[in-house]
Structures are given as structure tokens and as C-alpha cells.
Structure 1
Amino acid sequence: MKARVEDLRGQGDALFSRRSGLMAAWQEIAENFHPLRSDFTRHDAYGYTEGREWMDGLMTGSPVLAHRELSDQFAAMLRPKGKDWFGMTVEDERVAQDSTVKAWFQAKAATMRRIMYDTQAGFTRATKEGDADFAAFGQTVQSIELNAAANGLLFRCWHLRDCAWAEDAHRKIDTMHRKWKLPARSVLKFWPTKVDAKLREKAQKDPNGLVSLRHIVLPSDEYDFVNPRPKAQTAKFPFVSIYIDCDHDTILEETPLRRSPYIVPRWVTVSGSAYAHSPATVVGLSDARLLQRMTFTLLEAAEKAVNPPLIAQGNQLQGGANTYPGGITWVDADYDERKGEAIRVLDAMTQKTGIQFGLNMTQNAEMMIKRAFYLDQIRLPPAGEAMTATEVRMRTEEYIRAALPLFEPMETDYNGAICEEVFNLALENGAFGNLSDMPRLLAGQEVRFSFESPLQAAAGQQKAVAFQQAGQLLAAAMQIDPMSVVEFDTRKAFRDGLDGLGEPSWIVDDEQAQRARAQAAQRQKEQQDAQHVADVANAGGAVAGAVQQGQAAGLLPAPPQANAVEGAPV
């Protein structure tokens, strides 16, 4: 066992060593933008940083505020709690539009939201921490797994300092090594029969003493099990989870997994590296450093302007110059003022003309930091009253092009990965009820997730604007050719435009709308038939009246009259 532990630790130590250069970069980024994470290289042996003054060394908090605003916007725009921010569908349009499939997806999406936002799941806390890491470092490490009681999920965000990973040939992360400091009593509780005897003694003497653990997830075919697994089981469980006690060289747990519990959303990656970067801090770091230096210089200049340095003539002062507020400086009584002032302000050091220039420079630096953090692009400015539909559409397209680099990675790699793992865990553990109730049309279909985001909202608004433009174009075409209306599917265009407004509750179900249309058409036909019968009857009455008038005028022969004997002609 000791040899196996040493081999596993060696593999992980190699991964940690390869990314050691990133630690200094992450520390610098954290100190300027995310001080609460500035413990990559500044922490004690146990990883503790309690009692630190987090903003130590910073002259201004503008870069920190820019990072905070961006990370807060991630949750506010992409995962709003009071809104159904994700839904499910399939690629096959025919299956996706089926009413039973849509109802099943809506019900299961509601179940997933209840699981996520359960008070014990920790979803909000984990994503809050993850959003801050994603904004600052371009990546975050999160895990999703069953809780200890197996009655819900547990979401956790892990410090990048403690994680190292590797990619496979397809650039998918398939290996994760994570350092973990856990109290001895917790280790004994989780693995009561696996711990070393020395650890038991430690737990009795110091139950809160920390133990160095390592959690490892790697492909099953790359791990030499003590008890070899058959190929069929390896195919069914392509990953293995291993917990080791590094202090006592003990393997605490070996568990086969269907999927890795770790989710590592990455913002901007570069070829040849498994680690990502944040374009916000890559661009904004130089401006943040410059802003801190300029702020320090301005503080010194303002201090000298308020409390200027002094020059004294010879040895005429008694006890030196007192520059504190209300201070009195005594001059020798025998000193002749005609020889010059005994003490005066050093004018060269108190020029205030450069302070305004410095303030302008700091404002420019703050503006660049805001631009680096996309704070000028994450909100769509309100449309002007005089804007035409074409101008609104062009403006929306420009917003989408500017915001796409920000939101696209988060929708697919972040929100998408979380929803997919929650769906799989809920499905495997019976949270969706009896699977026989699943619509048969979903057999063999791959579930896809759709999200509500500013990009989706902007694209939906484009549909509504496009419908308005199409209506104007159709009206112009019908003035020339009234049959142009047959070239336009008004119903589909209207439903797509209405859907783009982002209010699904306004839209009637397609089958219900089709039935209502058929009933309305039937009523219209019945009304037309009744009107036709009435018109025929009215026409018949008019003809009869005209005949009578003709007969009375002698223009038409009189009708035959019957004898008194019934049925005999006159």
C-alpha cells in the first residue's frame, strides 16, 4: 500500500510542480482584484490565512470593485434565482414540440431547481465562490456529488491553489488531484475502518488536528486496482475516485465512478496548456498596478499641499518647525526680518497644478479597468424614442457581438456542465420518479439544455424586431401584388416574435391554438352558410314581390284561380 500511495502522490506532485509558475501570477492577480483569494503563496503550513489584513498594500479599491461587480453580474444575469433560468429540449424538432415531452421536461426542470436550491445543497455558496474565481482567474473547480446521507446533492467550490489537473487527447479534463486538509475526527468518521492506528491516537489527543489528504480522480484503465475489474465494469465506470492519507501512507477509499464529480469551467484557453486565463484580469492587471501607484503619488502630493515642507533661515528657530495643525514655531527675538523670512513654505514642493492632471489619469485608468471587465458591455443600453426598428436591430446585433466572448463560455462550460451533472445524478438516484413514465419519444434522444441570458434575450428581441420589419415589407408588397400574402407564414413569424419577448406564459400551446383556430374557422363557415341562406331567402322574396307587382300592372298573366270544388280548375 505504501508503494501505491507513493506512486499516486508522485503523479500528483508532478502535476502541481508543472503549474507552479501560475501560483505567483494568481497571487498577483488576487492581490489586485480578489484579495480574499490572495493566499496562493501567503499562507501557513495548514493553508490558514485568518487574521490577515486582506487589502494591505492597496491604495484604492477600484480594481476590487470592478471584479466584484463582474462576478456578481454572472449570477444576476445567468442564474437569476427567481426565474426559470434553464430548460430542457432535444435536437429533434418533432420530438421537442410534442406536448407530452414538453410537459415532462418542464416537470423535471422544476425538480432539478428544487434539488439545486435546497438549503443543504450549498449551490448558491459554491457558485458565488466559483463566479469570483472565474472572473479573476478564468476558471473554477467545483464538485457535485451525493451528500453523506444520500438524500440530496452537495455543491462545493475548491481553491485553485489545492487543485491540479490534466487533459486527455481530446482536451477534456480526465485527471484531478486535490489537496485537502481535514480534521482528524472527520477522517475517522468518514473512514472508520480504513484509518491508520496512529491517526486514531491523534484523533483522541487532538480531534481537530488537521490531516493531509489527497483526492484523486483518474481514468479507470490507468489505475492498477488491487482487485482487477472486468472490462465490462471498466466501460460502465470509466473513472475511479481515490482518497489517500498522505500523512500515514494509507488508501482510505477506492470507488469506481460513471463520471468525474469535478466540473472545471474555463474561460479563455491557449494551446498546450490545461489551464485557462481571465481576459478581464489579463488586460486589467497593468492598469490596476498603474492605478495603485498613481493613487499613492496623488496622496503624497495632496499631503504635501496640505502640510507643506518648510525652509528655515539659519539657526533662528527655537526647537524646530512645528508643522502640525495649530502648531507655533518660535523665532529668535534678535532676528531681523529685513534679512528675509525666518521660515517659509518650499513652493517647489507644493505646486497643485499637477494634482488635477493626476486625477484625470486615475479616471482614465479606472475607465480602462471597467472596459477590461466588460462593465461597459454587460448591459444593453435603453433604446431611444426616435429609433426605428432597423436601428434597434443593428444595435442589438452589435451588443451580441460584444457580449458573446463573455457569456458563451459560461453558458456551455459552466451552467451547461452543472445542469448536465445534476440531471444525471437525479436520474440515477430516482429523483425523477418512475422512468417508465418518460415519454417514449425520448428514447435514444440526447437531452440538451437551454438558458436564459442576455444573449438569448437579445436574440429574442431581434425576432420581434424582424417580425415588425417583415410586416412593414409585406404591407408594401401587398399594395403592388395583393397575392404576396401567400408568401409569408404569418402565424409562425408571430409566434417566434412573441416567444422572443421572453414571456412564455403569454403564448398559448400550439395544439390548443390549432384547435382554437379550427373552431373559429368552423364558426366562421357556419356564419357564412347562414348568411348565404338568408341572402337566398331575401332574393326569393324580392322576386316574388316583383312578380306580384307585374301582375297587378297587367304586365304579367294573373295566376290561375281554383273553383269552389277543391282541385277543379276554373
Structure 2
Amino acid sequence: MENLANKISSRLTTLQSLRKPHEQVWKECFDFSFPIRGAGFNSEVVTSSTIQRKKSQLFDSTLTDAARTQASAIISGLTPANSRWFGLDVDHASDEEKRWLDQSADVLWRNIHNSNFDSAAYEGNLDLMSAGWFALYIDTDREKGGFVFQLWPIASVYCDTSRADEKIDIVYRCYELTAEQAVNEYGDALAEKVKKQAEREPSSKIRFVHAIYPRKDGKQGEVAKKLPIASVHVDLDNKRVVRESGYNEMPVVIPRWMQIPQSVYAIGPVSDALPDAKTLNEIKRMELANADLAISGMWIAQDDGILNPQAITVGPRKVIIANSVDSMRPLHSGADFNISFTKCEQLQAAIRKIMLADQLQPQNGPAMTATEVNMRQQLIRQLLGPIYGRMQAEYLQPLIERCFGIAFRAGVFADAPESLVKKYINVKYVSPMARAQKFDEVTAISNFVQMAIQSAQVNQGVLDNIDFDKATRFTGEALGVPAQVVRTEQEIETIRQQRAEQEQAMQLQMAQQQMMAQQGAEQ
């Protein structure tokens, strides 16, 4: 155990040195967007006065507003709380399997949003805008049940990878507990001097690290110390393992915006707008300084024996004794506010364009036509499409896998069909952005069907080119229609058979009536 503690402590030192070159960039990005979220880098002590001082140095909020707009757009496009944004699927699924998968996806989605996911995800996306990554820890609520999501401050998280594809699978999180909290959490696993320290100084701080990494020869369903993902808590001050367990899936989700070459870390879109934000902030600072002169004025006075400039207080309803009116007069500052206003508007527009806020926010002006709306949606899809692709791979996929594993082991789902035992369950995304990416295909089907119907007025056989059942099903899936609303193929076949029998019975009845009518006429 001592060797394990020393190994983890040594690895932590290495990870800290590897992350340090990037910290200054992240810190600057946070300072000009969300100062409160960037506290803690470079061993900075986090206090309310420190955060307030950083806020007071910001003279323009354009970057903050633009980053918040893009974060909100990503959340509403990826994980909206008011509609299901994912489904479960298997290859060649039967109707029974589809029903179970759809019901399970609905139960899973509701449990995710019944937890604190929405608040944690929003704050995580703010970190994504500034630093380009965030760390979201997913676990079970031990007291109330369900999921619990913890957004770890990225200043305390260190990452690495053991994989060739550079996907993060090693996470170290540093944290502090008071001596009293440590005893309540870890008990007898602590060193004796920590227990004594808790008695003498219960509020003193103890440093810990939580190491999460792949465990060799680990298997799902085993005891905690043999699970695929290792979890080790180490007392750094005493080099002592205080808890060792494991996870069936990677419990920490770490999506990245744009990966830094030769590093597992990333940078966010705020870094692209940072030069403009710095320039804008400096212009605003000078503008406010000159505004003070423009409002209160600047004066020049001559000490002529009667007028003493050092004793003069300029203000309303004050009489100044002077030898001549020329002894004191206003002095123009020479500032040109028109240049400042024009330059600020240019920089603000540039920041909004870099952060895509100029496209994501509602447009002013007259109501757009359907064509204009469609073109704007296509533009937004083109701008955000690559971002959503990476977020699906590094954010949504591991998040759903972790939540599904927790829920399945807890017995939340109904009994699964036996045919699913050996099948791999895929995640399909039906979020607004995922549906928007299929909108072109839906539009193409709609236009094709309309063209065929018009052509059918000349040649009815044209409609034979279209499989209306498949077209309807594809359109429904692309638009995110719930599976409960769409009838199964077996149900449709039953309905059509009943309809055919009814039509046949009606035809037979009509034939009998006609025959009786003819017989009556002959008589």
C-alpha cells in the first residue's frame, strides 16, 4: 500500500509539471470571461476579495455574454431538458426489442434530468468555452438514490492517457479536507497523527488526491478492488492510501474543444477571442478615464496673487475670486470619443463573430421567410457540426454508458428480452442538433414525394417508385418521433388485414343487395 501511495504521489508531480505550461493561457481566458471559475490556477489562494478584484478589472462584458450564449446553444442543441436527446438501438432489432430500448432510454433520460445534471452541465460548458475542457464526475446518490453529478474545478484536475488514440482515461483530482472531515470520511485508514490532529486542530487542512486509472486484468462485476477502473484515495501529506475501490465504467467525463498538439489538454473558443477582448478592455478603461475628465472637466488656473489654484474647489454654486476671467479657464482633454466608440463596436462585433454569438442570437429586423430560416439553420449546422461531433464522442457517449451501467445494475429498467443478451446496444442521438443534421434528408424526401404526386396526375405509375412506408418511418425517426407513437410493422399488417376483410365483407354485402334488387325487379 505504501508503494502504491508513493507511486501515485510521484505520478501526480509529473502530471502537475506537464499541465503547468497551459495554465497561464486558461487563467487569462477565465480572467476575461468568467473570473470566478478560473480561481485556483498557479497555486492561487481563492478568496472573495481575489475574485472581486478580478471582476473589477473587467470593463466590458462582450466576451462573457458571447461565451454564455454559445454555451447555452450547445446545451440546448445537445442535452435539452425538455425533450429526449438520445435513444438506444441494436442491429436488426425486433419490435419487442425496440419497445424495451425506447422505454429504457426514456427512463434513463428522466433520471438524468431529475438529478443535478442540468446545473452541472451548464457550468461545465462555461469551463469548456474558456479552458476548452471540463471534468464531470458521475456516481450514485448514496442517500436518495438516482444519479449525482459533480463538476470538479479544473484547477484541481490533472489528466493523462494510456491509450494510443489519446482518449483521456487517467484522472487525478487534488482536494482538501479538514482533519475532522477526514476522520469522519476515512476513519481508521488514516495515520495516527492525523487522528490526533483532528482532536487538537479539527479545522486544519489535509491534502488528498483521488487517482482514477485503468486497472490491468480488471473485470466488470468483480469486487471493488478488481473492477476495470481503479479508484485510489491517497493522503499526500503522509503518503498513505486511505481508500481503494473501483468502477465498472470510467466515472469521469472529460470532453475537449480543441486538443493542444502533443498534449491531452485543450483550449476553448475564448482563447481565439482573447486578443480582441484584451484590446477592448484596455480601450474601455481609457474611455472611462477620459469620461471622468469629460464629465467633471479639466481646468487651468494662474496664480496671480489673488487666485490661489491650490485652494480652489470647482463645483455648482461656488464663487471663485480671480483678478481676471482669464486667470482660470477650462482645458480641453484632446480625447476623441468617436474613435473609441467606433473601435469598440468593431472589436465587439469581432468577438461575437469568433464566438458565433452573432449567428446564435435572434436576428433583429422583419420576420424571416421559411427559406431564410432554412438557410440560417444550415449555416448554424455548418458552424457547430464539427463541435457536436466531438462532443458526442467525448461527452455524450461515455456519459450515457456510465449512467446506463449504474441504472442497469440498480434494476431500474424492466426485464430485457432474452434476445438482447448477446447484442451490443448502440446509442443514437435525437437531439435538436442531431435532428437538424438529418433535416436535409427529410426535406429531400418531402420534395421527392410532392414531385411524384404531381407527376402522378399524368402517369399514376410514377408512385410505384416510392416506398411510402419506409419514407414515413425514416422521416419520423429523423424528426425524433417517439417509438410509442409509431405503430410496429406487425400492428400495421394486422390493421391492413382487418381493413381488407372489412372491405371484402362490404363488397359481398353490396353484391348481395344488388342481387336481391335485381330479383325483386324481375318479379
Interval containing the TM-score (normalised by the shorter chain): 0.7 to 0.9
Letter in 2 for 1:142: L
Structure 1 equivalent of residue 89 of structure 2: 89
Matched position secondary structure for 2:408: helix
Deviations 1:146-202 (A, max 9, x none): 344594443211111111111122312222221111122222122212111110011
1:414 has 2:414 as partner: no
1:158 has 2:152 as partner: yes
Shifted more, 470-479 versus 454-463: the winner is 454-463
Distance, in Å, in 2 between the alignment partners of 1:205 and 1:285 is 48
Matched positions, count = 515
Distance, in Å, in 1 between the alignment partners of 2:362 and 2:449 is 25
Structure 2 equivalent of residue 509 of structure 1: 487
Structure 2 equivalent of residue 523 of structure 1: 502
Distance, in Å, in 1 between the alignment partners of 2:293 and 2:362 is 44
1:240 has 2:226 as partner: no
Distance, in Å, in 2 between the alignment partners of 1:431 and 1:454 is 27
Distance, in Å, in 1 between the alignment partners of 2:453 and 2:361 is 34
Distance, in Å, in 1 between the alignment partners of 2:433 and 2:426 is 18
Letter in 1 for 2:26: W
Structure 1 equivalent of residue 329 of structure 2: 344
Q: CA deviation at 1:288?
A: 1.0
Matched position secondary structure for 2:187: coil
Structure 1 equivalent of residue 165 of structure 2: 170
* Alignment match of 2:300 (pick from 285, 306, 311): 311
Distance 1:514 1:379, change over 3 A: farther
Given the two structures, how large is their TM-score scaled by the length of structure 1?
Answer: 0.81
Deviations 1:429-456 (A, max 9, x none): 33336xxx31123222222223343323
Deviations 1:111-158 (A, max 9, x none): 32454345xx54334323312211221111121123445944432111
* Alignment match of 1:361 (pick from 320, 339, 343): 343
Q: CA deviation at 1:245?
A: 0.5
Q: CA deviation at 1:32?
A: 0.3
Distance, in Å, in 2 between the alignment partners of 1:222 and 1:539 is 87
Letter in 1 for 2:428: S
1:326 has 2:321 as partner: no
* Mapping of residues 8-157 of structure 1, within 5 Å: 8-41=8-41, 47-52=45-50, 53=52, 54-90=54-90, 92=91, 94-95=92-93, 98-118=94-114, 122-149=116-143, 151-157=145-151
Between structure 1 and structure 2, the one with the greater Rg is 1
Distance, in Å, in 2 between the alignment partners of 1:385 and 1:61 is 29
Structure 1 residue runs of 5 or longer lacking an equivalent are 224-228, 546-570
Contact 1:244 1:250 in 2 (8 A): yes
Distance, in Å, in 2 between the alignment partners of 1:273 and 1:42 is 19
1:179 has 2:168 as partner: no
Distance, in Å, in 2 between the alignment partners of 1:222 and 1:444 is 22
Identity of aligned residues (%): 22
Distance, in Å, in 2 between the alignment partners of 1:243 and 1:213 is 7
Contact 1:460 1:497 in 2 (8 A): no
* Mapping of residues 153-552 of structure 1, within 5 Å: 153-167=147-161, 168-221=163-216, 237-278=227-268, 280-313=269-302, 315=304, 318-320=307-309, 322=312, 324-326=314-316, 328=318, 330-333=320-323, 335=324, 341-347=326-332, 349-350=333-334, 354-378=336-360, 387=370, 396-432=377-413, 437-459=415-437, 461-504=439-482, 507-511=485-489, 512-534=491-513
Q: CA deviation at 1:308?
A: 2.6
Letter in 2 for 1:513: I
Contact 1:243 1:252 in 2 (8 A): yes
Q: More relative contact order in 1 or in 2 (CA 8 Å, sep 6+)?
A: 2
Distance, in Å, in 2 between the alignment partners of 1:514 and 1:500 is 23
Q: CA deviation at 1:473?
A: 1.4
Q: CA deviation at 1:59?
A: 1.1
Q: CA deviation at 1:519?
A: 2.4
Deviations 1:481-510 (A, max 9, x none): 321111111232234334544454894313
Contact 2:287 2:340 in 1 (8 A): yes
Distance, in Å, in 2 between the alignment partners of 1:452 and 1:379 is 23
Q: CA deviation at 1:480?
A: 4.2
